[in-house]
Amino acid sequence: MHTPLALALLALLPATGLATLPEGWVGVRTCAGCHDETVTAFAAGTHGRAMSQRGQPLPEHACESCHGPGGEHASDPAQANIRAGKGASHAEASLGCLTCHAAQHGGLLAQSPGHRRTGVTCLDCHVSGHSPAPAEPLLARTRAETCTPCHRSQAAQFNLPFAHREGRVPFECMSCHSVHGGTTTGGRIEELGRAACVTCHTEKIGPFVFSHPPREVAGCQACHRPHGSPNPKLLKRINVTNLCLECHTTTPSSHNLASPSYRQCQTCHTAVHGSQRDPRLFLE
Amino acid sequence: MQRWLTRVVLAAALGLPVPSQAQLRGEIAAAFAWQRADGNEAEFANHFNLEEGPFLERFRLDLARVFVGLDRCELELEGFGAEPSGRGRLRVDWDREWSLRLDYSRRESRFSSPSFDLGVRRDDWAITRFTGSLSYQGWKRAMLRLDARDVRRHGSVTFPFLGLGTQYVAQRELDERLQEVGFSLATRDLPVAIVVQQDFAHLTRRNRGSVGNDGRPAVGVDPDVLAVFTTPGEDSSNVPTSRLSAVYHSERLDVVGRALHRRDRLSSSREDEDSYDIGGGPGRAGFVDRLVGSADLETTLADLVLAVKVVDSLRVRLAGRWQDSATDAALIGERILRLSGPTGSIDLPLDATDLGHVALTDGEAAVAVEWTGGPFGVSVRYHDGWRKAGWKRGEEYLEQRVKRDSSGLSAVAFVSLGRTFSAQLGWDDSDFSRFIFRTEPGTVKRHWARAVLRPQEKLELAVSVTREREDNPAIVSDLDARHDSWGVSGSYTGDSGVFATVAVEAFTLASRVDTFFFAPQPTRGESLYDSHLVAVSIRAGVPLRQHLRFMAGGVRVKDSGDSLPFTLDQWDARLELRDAAPVDLALFLARWRHVVARGEALDYDVNRFGVTVGGRF
């Protein structure tokens, strides 16, 4: 389905790009001869804009860098004559992604073998960019829903009474997890070397003059559940004192636990994450 | 309109003269929600924090070629108003060399509970986050990027604290801020992708205290009245962070390496005071802390992973990780007991010099071998690690030094028939030599299985089972923790937007730990936690007519364990009319019902319904 204007525009293009194409490649203008709307949508999308560097037009290799050489398909437009045509498996189609995104694949292979074992491919989470994506970077679903279809157990935990949720919507998994194996590149500011929690809870980054050692040694999950919990403050226990007493066996004898005043440790030891002034963590 | 736009975009993409007209696309949907709440509204705010009123369901604006060189400008906004969060995203591509990304989010948090912190705790604060990046992609072999973020928490927290012989109530106005800038240089189209990044962060806390509950104790009656609670000091940290990462990828070898060095230097200056009118009379006893604290945290981290495809069916992965962090802290100053009355005052100072430190070193090495033969495969991983921890929290506490070794073996057998069927069966077994904290396990055994079946492209069925056991010896805490979970789900995604999903997830957590405390005599006890959660969720959407669409769903979470049996229902439905009129319309309703088996104090039943009006341009 081509528009007359599109064909006219194509005819006006200089032919300089063709000389640089490998044998068997036909170039984007040949593709646009039949797939003009697809090329148009692609050019306007994230991938198209990324390929068109420095104000240049969509490069000649734009389509074939993912779909492979198109010469045979141009002669005989059967789907079998092009890589990742309609109906192609995600695994086959994802091969095209790795042409440019080798680093992400390297991370996936090296550090997230679970994703690879289960046959997770690029297009299980991302779209190719031929049509508008529900979310960036070219995600197939919204950011909050991207991981849900496979990680239903974790998704269910966001439905607990206390959960990392904005109203009804769970937090985006990518806020804390690096899905490509922790090799997120490109300068993203991340909290490598300390809990992902402090990305938002910056007041708990520390350091503290008087620290509560589990925070440093065992991390936030020593006391909290990250996705959701039936208990306030995402705690692991409904009774805070039980949580404390599981570690603290040397409470002073003055702490009469039969008295209500001593049944909630944090009402005196308020600075449970650390204090700048009191080694007993009485106040911040 | 659509066809005109198509032509213009195509012309622009192929480098032809671009029409001078600006291209503008977008959509907006504004909503108003009415809400009716029965029962404990504060508990509903704890859980969902939704209110009645207007909010922005979505706003998207996509501009192209408005100015010469402006390739794209996208703005997204959502939330605010009656929603507990709001966010905005701005993305600008300039002359296809410069890219600007700005993100804004604001999240409000409210909390109060009659069973927490003697019932006086009140959280009412918000975190606002700005993050931005400016990248230059004009070079062929490298990309330069400047990042910045500003995170601020403000609002108030009301809390109990130990005052003159009993717990009083204070309020803290929050003024906490993190500002960070960083730049990175990332290589492009080179055999090794290298990223060098340098960040600098500055954190400040200027929280201001004040008297809460009119100076009365948190519980009971006490003749002494809290008259002054002030915290005029400031904590600040400077944090430079250096990062280096390198990734090499080839057909047979992947190498990923990272290194980080960070130094957090804290400076704390305090002159906090809490004073009490003795018996409510003119005599006053107060405590003034004139303190200067410092802490220096140094973190160094490195990890390396090599994944080798020995032959097509055999892969070997070697991984090593090392992290060292150490904090040295010092406090100087004095704690003053100030007694005052009608005739004057007297200060009794005590030296408050103190020292503390925390050190942690982690190391781990792992080797994994994975074999695949046709649709079948097996992966075996062995890891060996160690952790050294030491701390001394002030002079009055004993120094702790502990080294803990760990090792573990895990195996996964799997079968994958493309997208039609995949299944995995896994087994993990880890051992730890000793314990840093008495609740840490000595052994962890975990077995799990999951399978996904897609009998046709539109239908997916999944099942998963996990069994986990943790324990440690009776001489430690006799820990016995059992985590079991299972889940089944089915989803159908049809044509024209028809979809349906049903999922059942069940979690069982039973934990027992021996405790030992003084009450006031030495007493042995046990900490028990028992949770049997089942979450049933269903969601479906169907087009009723060409422009009319209906979606509905709900989740029931029920915990029948001994610790906190409850039921939480969340149901919602939405009817959308799109593209049939100049404006799009949607009606939505939702219901939340929370029932706690032991008493009605935390129960609520909230209905919310509303209308959305929007359109596209």
3-class secondary structure per residue, B412-445:
EEEEEECCCEEEEEEEEEEEECCCCCCCCCCEEE
Chain A CA closest to residue B269: A276
Position B393 confidence tier, pLDDT thresholds 50, 70, 90: confident
Arithmetic mean of pLDDT, B303-320: 90
Q: Chain A neighbours among B 39-98 (CB < 8 Å)? A: 46-50, 64, 69, 71-72, 79, 83-85, 91, 93, 95-97
Position B140 confidence tier, pLDDT thresholds 50, 70, 90: confident
Torsion angle in degrees (nearest 10) through CA of B321, B322, B327, B328: 180
Q: Chain B neighbours among A 22-81 (CB < 8 Å)? A: 28-29, 32, 36-37, 39-41, 43-44, 48-49, 52-58
Arithmetic mean of pLDDT, B360-381: 92
| Secondary structure class of A97 (helix, strand, coil) | helix
Judged against a pLDDT cut of 60, whether residue B2 lies above it is answered with: no
CB contact under 8 A, A268 and B162: yes
- Residue B147: which of B122, B183, B189 has the closest Cα? B183
Chain A CA closest to residue B521: A253
User: What number of other Cβ atoms are within 10 A of residue B538's Cβ?
Assistant: 15
CB contact under 8 A, A153 and B464: yes
Higher pLDDT, B26 or A13: B26
Judged against a pLDDT cut of 50, whether residue A61 lies above it is answered with: yes
- Chain B residues with CB under 8 Å of A57 CB are 13-16
Position B4 confidence tier, pLDDT thresholds 50, 70, 90: very low
Arithmetic mean of pLDDT, A265-284: 93
pLDDT in tens, B562-589: 999 999 999 999 999 988 888 999 999 9
Scored b (16 or more CB within 10 A) or e, B571-602 reads: bbebebbbeeeeebbbebbbbbbbbbeeeeeb
CB contact under 8 A, A193 and B301: yes
Arithmetic mean of pLDDT, B38-65: 92
Q: Which helix (H) or strand (E) holds B6?
A: helix B2-13
Position B510 confidence tier, pLDDT thresholds 50, 70, 90: very high
Arithmetic mean of pLDDT, B144-173: 95
8 A C-beta contact, residue A256 and residue A262: yes
Position B394 confidence tier, pLDDT thresholds 50, 70, 90: confident
Position B18 confidence tier, pLDDT thresholds 50, 70, 90: very low
Q: What pLDDT sits at residue B97?
A: 83
pLDDT in tens, A70-105: 999 999 888 888 877 666 666 677 777 877 776 665
B477 residue type, one letter:
S
Position A183 confidence tier, pLDDT thresholds 50, 70, 90: very low
Q: What pLDDT sits at residue A9?
A: 41
In this complex, is the C-beta atom of A130 within 8 Å of any C-beta atom belonging to chain B? no
DSSP-assigned letter for residue B17: P
Judged against a pLDDT cut of 80, whether residue A213 lies above it is answered with: yes
Higher pLDDT, B231 or B249: B231
DSSP β-ladder status, B234-249 and B208-211? unpaired
pLDDT in tens, B401-417: 999 999 999 999 999 88
Position A7 confidence tier, pLDDT thresholds 50, 70, 90: very low
Distance of alpha carbon B300 from alpha carbon B243, whole angstroms: 10
| Secondary structure class of A201 (helix, strand, coil) | coil
The region of weakest confidence among A10-14, A111-115, A190-194, B91-95 is A10-14
In this complex, is the C-beta atom of B210 within 8 Å of any C-beta atom belonging to chain A? no
pLDDT in tens, B261-300: 999 999 999 999 999 999 988 999 999 999 999 999 999 9
pTM over 0.80: yes
Helices (H) and strands (E) counted in chain B, each on its own, are 2, 29
Q: What pLDDT sits at residue A102?
A: 65
Q: What pLDDT sits at residue A172?
A: 86
Q: What is the mean pLDDT of chain A?
A: 79
- Pull the structure tokens for residue B293: 């604290």
In this complex, is the C-beta atom of B222 within 8 Å of any C-beta atom belonging to chain A? no
Q: What pLDDT sits at residue A106?
A: 54
- Per DSSP, the residues of B588-609 read EEEEEEEEESS-STT-EEEEEE
Q: What pLDDT sits at residue B258?
A: 87
DSSP-assigned letter for residue A59: P
CB contact under 8 A, A187 and B460: no
Residue A201's contacts (CB-CB under 8 Å, 6 or more residues apart) are: none
Distance of alpha carbon A183 from alpha carbon A186, whole angstroms: 10
- Residue B264: which of B355, B356, B201, B175 has the closest Cα? B201
Distance of alpha carbon B136 from alpha carbon B113, whole angstroms: 50
In this complex, is the C-beta atom of A258 within 8 Å of any C-beta atom belonging to chain B? yes
Asked if the bond preceding A207 is cis, omega within 30° of 0, the reply is yes
User: Best of B256, B371, B387, B512 to disrupt the A interface by mutation (most A CBs within 10 Å)?
Assistant: B256
SS3 per residue for B62-92: EEECCCCCEEEEEEEEEECCCCCEEEEEEEE
Q: What pLDDT sits at residue B126?
A: 96
Distance of alpha carbon B469 from alpha carbon B485, whole angstroms: 12
- Chain B residues with CB under 8 Å of A238 CB are 529, 563-564
Strand partners, B462: B452, B489
Q: How far is B297 from chain A (nearest CA, A)?
A: 6
The region of weakest confidence among A27-36, A246-255, B370-379, B481-490 is A246-255
Q: What pLDDT sits at residue B226?
A: 97
Arithmetic mean of pLDDT, B72-97: 89
- Pull the structure tokens for residue B426: 């896994």
B171 residue type, one letter:
Q
CB contact under 8 A, A53 and B97: yes
The region of weakest confidence among A133-147, A199-213, B484-498, B600-614 is A133-147
User: What is the ipTM score, two decimals?
Assistant: 0.91
Arithmetic mean of pLDDT, B497-520: 92
Q: How far is A114 from chain B (nearest CA, A)?
A: 10
- Residue A31: which of A48, A56, A53 has the closest Cα? A48
Q: Chain A neighbours among B 355-414 (CB < 8 Å)? A: 356, 358, 360, 368, 370, 377, 379, 387, 389, 391, 393-397, 400, 412, 414
Q: How far is B282 from chain A (nearest CA, A)?
A: 26
- Pull the structure tokens for residue A40: 């148009």
DSSP β-ladder status, B53-64 and B70-79? antiparallel
Q: What is the mean pLDDT of chain B?
A: 91
Arithmetic mean of pLDDT, B177-192: 90
Position A200 confidence tier, pLDDT thresholds 50, 70, 90: confident
Judged against a pLDDT cut of 80, whether residue A109 lies above it is answered with: no
CB contact under 8 A, B84 and A230: no
Q: Give the distance from CA B68 to its chain's centroid.
A: 41
User: What number of other Cβ atoms are within 10 A of residue A22's Cβ?
Assistant: 9
Judged against a pLDDT cut of 80, whether residue B71 lies above it is answered with: no
Helices (H), B194-280: none
Q: What pLDDT sits at residue A42?
A: 86
Arithmetic mean of pLDDT, A203-225: 90
Q: Which helix (H) or strand (E) holds B41?
A: helix B41-47
Position A10 confidence tier, pLDDT thresholds 50, 70, 90: very low
